[in-house]
Homo-oligomer: A and B are copies of this chain.
Amino acid sequence: MQNHYPPTLKKLISALSSLPGIGEKSASRLSLFLLSKPGLCEFLGDLIKELPFRVRLCKFCRNLSEEEVCGICKDKTRERELLCIVENPVNLLHLESIGIYKGYYYVLHYLLSPKEGFGPKELGLDSLLHLIQERGVKEVILALSPTLSGEATSAYIAEILKPFPLTITKLACGIPMGMEIQFADPLTLKKAFQGREHLKGG
């Protein structure tokens, strides 16, 4: 159907179709919409071009930042002894939006995944070790998703951190609040049994 479109429009549709969650139909609709808004094209085009030059990683925690040090690392009121390891900036923001954690973060950006070629080198743990020593961190909280690669990465990091005088913890795994037990999957139930809370005695 797009054979009759002008070449620039076809190129734009194909580029937009390469983005996650955008099919050829949405790409076509977006392109025609943009065509009717020259001002937006100028603004949006510039923003997209500048994005990788403006946004970089905080030199301490590797969170997204437009300055050398991100807002969280600059915040001196946070609990200096806690360091929470997250997979990516989206997870960091999710934890921040809930507001239950007041320590600092370290963003991995990758999980171990031999299939995708992400090995220990990509995790960049040198800067993590440096941060732990420099800040005098006392507890490292592993907050990676309880998936195959998340678990493998947590285990690997825990192993690396073993020689250091640190408490290492991992977010609890179990039945989500509000879920009926009958709908919990076997693996989750197993984790819930293993990690069961002591209410009395011991």
| Interface residues of A, Cβ cutoff 8 Å to B | 1-9, 11-12, 15-16, 18-22, 26, 28-35, 38, 40-52, 54-55, 64-66, 71-72, 88-90, 92-94, 96-97
Contact = CB atoms under 8 A, between A and B. Distances in A.
A46 B89 CA distance: 27
Main secondary structure of the interface of A (DSSP, over half): helix
B49 A9 contact: no
Given A1-B94, A21-B29, A9 B43 contact: no
B96 A4 contact: yes
A13 to B, nearest CB: 10
A58 to B, nearest CB: 10
Contacts of A42: 49
B8 A71 contact: no
Nearest to A11: B47
Contacts of A26: 21
Contacts of A7: 66
B65 A6 contact: yes
A64 B15 contact: no
A50 B89 contact: no
A8 B97 contact: no
Nearest to A53: B38
Contact of A64 (B5, B41, B48): B5
15 contacts: A4-B96, A5-B93, A6-B55, A6-B65, A7-B66, A8-B47, A8-B51, A9-B51, A12-B47, A22-B30, A34-B48, A41-B48, A41-B49, A41-B52, A45-B46
